[in-house]
Chains A and B, each alone.
Chain A
Amino acid sequence: MSARELIADVLLFGGVALILATSLGMVVMRNAYERLHFVGPTAIAAIAIALAVLVQEGPSLIAIKAGLVAAFLALTSPVLVHFTARAAREWERGDWRPGGGR
């Protein structure tokens, strides 16, 4: 196994371990707001896996595509977490603002 493959494996299984830890957190937490915290780190795992593809393959088409997937996930995941939290609060209280609703 060359050094390049070793680095790729470390990045890949680092990302997979992060995913496993976050999915454990999803099950253990008590309500949706606490669970939302564990959606964020999946973007970091996506970046790690995309870097693993880049290290394994060098500059190639699949590396560009993996980079696009990671960039998209990293850019949209905070937006989604924010919007989901707001929607959840609106669903529970009728208004997302602090002190609003019932």
Chain B
Amino acid sequence: MAEPKQKDDVSDANTVKLVLAWSFVGIPLLWGVYNTLTQAALLFK
């Protein structure tokens, strides 16, 4: 039973790393997109 547990541990660790890594790049990118959309909205006012 040791092998599936080890696999689960790897999978959990990967999930945490994936969330952290994607947040690290995703949050600034979303902030940039939000700013751009706010600016672009001026075109339709």
A binds B: no
